[in-house]
A and B are shown apart, each in its own frame.
Chain A
């Protein structure tokens, strides 16, 4: 095969990254452009058009007048949001859940991966992996449904255990103080195994000779994990940490909304559910678009900032 190539200088010799290859080269790949065009159209329509449409946050959107026809009101919706009763509660809850999730949910898959990696028996290793990955495939609805079943104050299995040990049944799903803990730990249950895969992949690239050399030098197993395995996955950790910190304020709608009820709203109302309630249920399109835009912008700024910081402190960054 390589012999054929040397006699054929026509293809892809010229192109360097970013250099304009000339119309001829583009025309030669016309079918590739045709192939990708539906995807480009998709992104323009379903991702970039909404970015254009988000200007209704600065207008009083009336559907019959269209986006450009609606009156411009500047930052009125934003000031209304910043001054509203909900503002600090939403920030507190969104940030609280995000931070809690980061502090508890982020290290656990790392520990799990380091631990799985030390298992000698292949069968036990596979068993642990297969079992811990499984909950990832359950839907959010089912996981939250299971929470309601298990935590039911009258006949949920958790409260049965509490009562068995002489305690009083706890109304887990309606008490605001339990909300964040239940949210975070059920998330850990669902995704710790799946999130550990990426670290296991990184660990599989560690050179065994390093370990042999360390053993000769008398390093214990724990020391070897700390000084060989951990540094090996550090770049992966930093990359994922950047992504996670950058998303700290974008707590997902789906699970919070399912776990939410009027009794725990004090602790469970986050920006995305507020947008849903005011925007789609209350039809205040412009106001809720403003709240959503505020969230998107903050997320974007955080991601860029964290990435820049990481690049300064470390060699690793996203871009």
Chain B
């Protein structure tokens, strides 16, 4: 329609180069981890691996999947994620639906009560003492109940209910004598599948990646989620049973341990990265809804 001027063309080129640089910067570490995890540890330690794998081997993965700590951490994390997310989503709906209704008396007061907690909190110590007094210490409920619902997600969901589920339909159902709960389950929720999907994703990624509550509330190793095990391996350099490759020399052991870390990173993120391409559309949509000031 309009002729592109020279300066616009130059801008377009600069912009594209800029974004390609960004792409490279974001992708390089991810590709490197993947390559390193399937490379022969020897090349890795000599600094011969730059981008593509060298001396292809799946040995590190074999060791990771034989590791009892990781397997148990995996199972625990799956359990906490499924249970925690279920509770999160139910609580979010239970809060968001009443607050989305104009005829719900007290909604401003209740919203205020929720939102205030985003800006002020009693802090770590009182919360810790509370969890202990409730008898949740060293129980998986300490990972689930303290974060049972997020104010931000309630706001997103409430905004969705208000903007995407026509109030007229709900009103009509009321006139037909439908109870509020019936309206919620038969009319509102079926129309809200996209936002519920987004919520499931938000919360489950949060549970999958959480380590802090486990760090402060769990003492029993058998209950540790994956992230706590990962911390031991990646950051505290504590390889546990994995480091004792009995039949190997000390240098070789060190090498294997290093290669193993990369495989551990990949294995830990596998579920999230595998579903990511499928769900990223929904994620973005949820962010957009949340971005609207509600």
Give A contacts to B, CB under 8 Å. Answer: 1-2, 4-5, 8, 10-12, 15, 17-18, 20-21, 25-26, 29, 31-33, 35-36, 38-40, 42-43, 45-54, 56, 63, 112, 115-116, 118-120, 124, 127-135, 137-142, 144-146, 148-150, 154-155, 157, 160, 163-164, 189, 192-194, 197-198, 201-202, 212, 215-216, 220-222, 236, 239, 246, 253-254, 258, 272, 275-276, 279-280, 285, 288-289, 292-293, 295-296, 299-300, 303
Point out the residues of chain B lying under 8 angstroms from A145, CB to CB: 230-231, 233-235, 261, 265
Point out the residues of chain B lying under 8 angstroms from A163, CB to CB: 47
Point out the residues of chain B lying under 8 angstroms from A140, CB to CB: 209, 211
In whole angstroms, what is the CA distance A1 to B292 when docked?
Answer: 28
Contact B123 A289 (CB under 8 A): yes
Contact B287 A201 (CB under 8 A): yes
Contact A221 B172 (CB under 8 A): no
Question: Mostly helix, strand, loop or mixed at chain A's interface?
Answer: helix
Q: How many A-B residue pairs have CB under 8 A?
A: 289
Question: How big is the B interface, by class?
Answer: 35 or more
> Nearest Cβ in chain A — how far from B29, in angstroms?
6
Contact B272 A137 (CB under 8 A): yes
Contact A142 B169 (CB under 8 A): no
> Nearest Cβ in chain B — how far from A136, in angstroms?
9
In whole angstroms, what is the CA distance A193 to B280 when docked?
Answer: 12
In whole angstroms, what is the CA distance A275 to B47 when docked?
Answer: 40
B125 lies within 8 A of chain A by Cβ: yes
11 A-B pairs, CB-CB below 8 angstroms? A15-B103, A35-B97, A46-B130, A50-B123, A129-B284, A139-B209, A141-B231, A142-B230, A144-B234, A144-B235, A276-B216
**Contact of B149 (CB < 8 Å), options: A11, A26, A42, A154:** A42
Closest 7 CB pairs of A and B: A145-B234, A50-B122, A292-B123, A139-B209, A53-B126, A50-B126, A160-B47
Point out the residues of chain B lying under 8 angstroms from A280, CB to CB: 124-125, 128, 216
If A42-B91, A119-B16 touch, whether A285 touches B129 (CB-CB below 8 Å) is: yes
Contact B216 A32 (CB under 8 A): no
Contact A189 B124 (CB under 8 A): no
If A53-B130, A157-B50 touch, whether A131 touches B172 (CB-CB below 8 Å) is: no
